[in-house]
Structure 1
Amino acid sequence: MSIQRTARDARHRLRQDEIIVAARRCFRQHGFHAASMAQLASEAQLSVGQIYRYFTNKDAIIEEIVKRIVDSRVHEMLATSSNVHLCELLAWRQMQNSDDEALMMEVAAEATRNPRIAKMMADADERMFRHACEKASRMHPGFSAERIHASVEIIAVLVDGTSYRRLTPQKASPERLYTLYQHINDLLFKTEES
């Protein structure tokens, strides 16, 4: 690959990154559905035509944002060695990245109106689910695939539900919730002999 092409590719990636940063701000302010390409272009300090050189449409920008969020979540999930940290995150309603959480809620809302976004959500969920199942299988090699899938599905429901519950005041003490989440984790992932 030539030096010129390498430099051009690097500039292209940098400009895409700049557009994504601007799009995240614009989508957080206006929502995916309401944000126009003109608003996004203004936020990025580019023309709409310049944005179309890097992304074919608004859905392609959303798709890239979702991909990056899922990449980050998969990396975080694979970097931890157990679900104990997950119990803390759930009980104290902590989040890795509040902007990512809000953007994923926007994606979920847009998915109710847009079949392409709904497909993106399904694909992102499939990717997260597959990685979580692979990790759980490595940690619990004696568990059947059915048990792994059911356990991961329950964890996914707890995580997704907690994302939405963060919008309301917490009704139980984090300490009590932590104990209950640990019990749930034990129920899902401890072997019968333990």
Structure 2
Amino acid sequence: MKLLHCTNAARATRADARREHLLETARALFVQRGFHSTGVAQIAAASGVKVGQIYRDFQSKEDIIAAIVERDIEGFLHEACLAQAIDRGDRTAVRTWITRLLAIDEPIEDCRMMTEILAEIARNDRMAEINRRIERRVRDSLTTALASLAPAHADPARLDLLADFIMTIGTGLTCRRIASEGGDATALHAKIERIIDDELAQLPVEA
């Protein structure tokens, strides 16, 4: 029985490793070639994973993209760290977390992946659904972070508006990095940070 358990665990580990390798390979191809120019056959050739095995792991190319996005957002949001900072009342850590949403030093590959998704949402319903899921998750975490920094009983509508502002600016910064790769956005980033701090300080209290 113990031997069977060990064998199953080993198989699970190999399957996880194969899946991770496949996602990394697919991600690199999507960044280099775009979603339209990358098919499952190309992913199979580059990863060494047979097409049949890929379709046993994922029903479609969109499912591969969804898995990559899910993994990326886990590493980007650090939701557990945010929750701990809020529980500790560590306002500096919460503010730093918000700053990371507007990071200008993320790998350019991450920006290309995001702009590929944005380019697809108007013509691919599955990609639009993936994007909506990302936005809901980011927005929920961001609103929670802002509420922990806002004055007591701050107007929820203004918190929502500030969350929209930050998410819109974050998307704009991502697109700008692609359009002007190599440009220095440090001064722009600092100005955006000042605007966010001013908005937080001026949030009106709900009547």
User: What TM-score do you get using the length of structure 2 for normalisation?
Assistant: 0.79
Structure 2 residue 51 is the aligned partner of structure 1 residue 38: no
Conserved in 2, the CA contact under 8 Å of 1:59 and 1:117? yes
Q: Which of 136, 143, 158 is residue 133 of structure 1 equivalent to?
A: 143
Q: Aligned-pair distance for 1:108? A: 1.4
Per the alignment, residue 55 of structure 1 pairs with 58
Q: How many residues align?
A: 189
Q: Which of 17, 20, 42 is residue 17 of structure 1 equivalent to?
A: 20
- Classify the secondary structure of the residue corresponding to 2:16: helix
Conserved in 1, the CA contact under 8 Å of 2:111 and 2:177? no
Query: d(CA) in 1 for partners of 2:59 and 2:97?
Result: 42
Query: d(CA) in 1 for partners of 2:184 and 2:136?
Result: 32
Structure 2 residue 67 is the aligned partner of structure 1 residue 64: yes
Q: Aligned-pair distance for 1:40? A: 0.8
Residues 127-180 of structure 1 show CA distances to partners (whole Å, capped at 9, x for unaligned) of: 01101111111222522322221111101111110111113449x985653553
Give the 5 Å matches for 1:116-131.
Answer: 116-131=126-141
CA gap of 1:140–1:112, structure 2 versus 1, over 3 A, is same
CA gap of 1:83–1:191, structure 2 versus 1, over 3 A, is farther
Identity %: 28
Structure 2: segments with no counterpart, 5+ residues: 86-92
Per the alignment, residue 82 of structure 1 pairs with 95
Residues 65-90 of structure 1 show CA distances to partners (whole Å, capped at 9, x for unaligned) of: 11112112211883743159839x85
Give me the CA root mean square deviation: 2.9
CA gap of 1:22–1:178, structure 2 versus 1, over 3 A, is closer
Equivalent position amino acid for 1:15 in 2: R
Q: Aligned-pair distance for 1:46? A: 2.1
- Classify the secondary structure of the residue corresponding to 2:104: coil
Per the alignment, residue 194 of structure 2 pairs with 183
Structure 2 residue 24 is the aligned partner of structure 1 residue 27: no
Q: Aligned-pair distance for 1:12? A: 1.3
Structure 1: segments with no counterpart, 5+ residues: none
Give the 5 Å matches for 1:99-118.
Answer: 99-118=109-128
User: What TM-score do you get using the length of structure 1 for normalisation?
Assistant: 0.84
Residues 61-119 of structure 1 show CA distances to partners (whole Å, capped at 9, x for unaligned) of: 000011112112211883743159839x85xx723232222111111112222101100
CA gap of 1:60–1:174, structure 2 versus 1, over 3 A, is closer
Query: d(CA) in 2 for partners of 1:133 and 1:174?
Result: 25
